[in-house]
Structure 1
């Protein structure tokens, strides 16, 4: 009995030692494998490194600045010398009558963009994919991509020369045919439509790149089988192309919803004038006015933090709804 007990202890000890040796060996192999992969794919890691450093320095490191929204920050006192005020700035922001105006403008501008702008790159990508002449296809792609590389200063200048009351081409034509000029740039009823049209003209071509890449990944044999079954081009697009790029559409839609509290700052600031302030004031311009012009840094940070929280909630909520509907989300 005693010998069996001793043998059992010895076997357990041997098993424990073997386990430790196995774990140590696995760790060594894992370390070797990691370094081998690091050496093997060193050029890929070098390509990724600039993007990683960019996000680290300009996205993650500045997050400590969110603490300023809980302070009455003064550049003269510094971060450690400024007074902590808790949720004072949030309370002031939410209780301000201007908050609801900014919320309305921001949401409606983004809804206009979501309804009218988001589907157009999908349609344009499908149309470009149907062009069979290689040179003509590349020419059209280059033409629709070019506006993306123009600054908003140039785009707004084009808008001014087209719709301005005094020098605008549209109003010159109206006057030439005996009609009254239309004050497009100073009429609040046209402001959101102008922003949407500018976004479509500037970025619709750039947005087609992702959808064209998704369409390029569709198996050509599926189209060949559809042709054998007698399906025309519209049937192929409806039953093959659109279902194939549906995951890409869903992911981009979720990411777009995450920016519902965010509006292009430069575009709105340049298009803004005193006559359209009621429909042009958004969180981005308010943050700029309070944080930079008036020196209320904590207020500007508070607005930015509010936008970030809203974006996060919308992404999580839309991703949950998409998964409940049976589709793949972003995670």
Structure 2
């Protein structure tokens, strides 16, 4: 009897809180509806990954293919090459592209001149607001063999012009460098915000103990932002098969397909250029399943070895 009364009281209290914050819930309604319409309803279309899709017959009436697309998937040399390239490019971005904002935020946090710090931070995240169409056009001009400033410096010191974006050797490093340049400042914002919440008393106590700035960074700042680092790392790991479609589509060419073609560009060519919607859906489904498995596995591992995790 007491338990049921407690439950009823809890429900009443919850309902009162909802009524008190009804405007906030009303504001939340729009993004929830948008998420449902554009993210959940289209999931019905994933059925075509298991069918021989015929546009005239529709999704449901198209015949089932007995997992034929998935068998084809792992015997397709071009897909396996795209999978390999995706893992390499995403892995390098995960290592360098994930660490760069952390290092940048730590260095920025050590700047004592407030005006210079704000200007540096503002300049660093401006590239994030440019589309990859614009950013790629700028990069093409900068590394152009005929008129680019990079090759101008190389020839000035007696070297030969390098076709960076048409070379299998240099294309992937150019992807990593340009990705860091574009996203480092924006990604650092959340770490800087996390550092701002650290109690100044901790730094004052370390001053009394005679700690230098490096020791403060190692023993106070980094442990304080570690929960944020872990969560963002897990989310990044879940997108390990996202090699950067917009970036690569605007930078690659047939000369570098061997090292630059990733799953997303492969799906684009197969699905929208060759009109193999069912096969491209199978590729996309495989990519998403791998991402979810990696995210869940990594989160379980992190929760076992620490107190942090995405959930």
TM-score w.r.t. structure 2 length? 0.94
* Structure 1 position 56 matched with structure 2 position 56: no
> Which residue in 1 is equivalent to 2:4?
23
> Which residue in 1 is equivalent to 2:214?
234
Point out the more displaced range, 206-215 or 48-57.
48-57
Question: 1:217 deviation in Å?
Answer: 1.8
Structure 1 unaligned segments of length 5 or more: list them.
1-18
Matches within 5 A, 1:1-331: 19=1, 23=4, 26-27=7-8, 29-331=9-311
Are the equivalent residues in 2 in contact too, given 1:112–1:192 (CA < 8 A)?
no
Point out the more displaced range, 37-46 or 180-189.
37-46
Structure 2 unaligned segments of length 5 or more: list them.
none
Question: 1:328 deviation in Å?
Answer: 1.7
3-state DSSP of counterpart to 2:169: helix
Point out the more displaced range, 42-51 or 149-158.
42-51
- Structure with max Cα Rg: 1
Aligned residues: 311
Question: 1:160 deviation in Å?
Answer: 0.6
CA deviations on 1:17-64 (whole Å, 9 max, x unpaired) are xx3x9837853x455434322221123223333332232222222222
Distance 2:239 2:74 in 1: 20
CA deviations on 1:124-161 (whole Å, 9 max, x unpaired) are 11122222232222211111110000000111101110
Are the equivalent residues in 1 in contact too, given 2:45–2:59 (CA < 8 A)?
no
CA RMSD of aligned residues (A): 1.9
Distance 1:123 1:251 in 2: 17
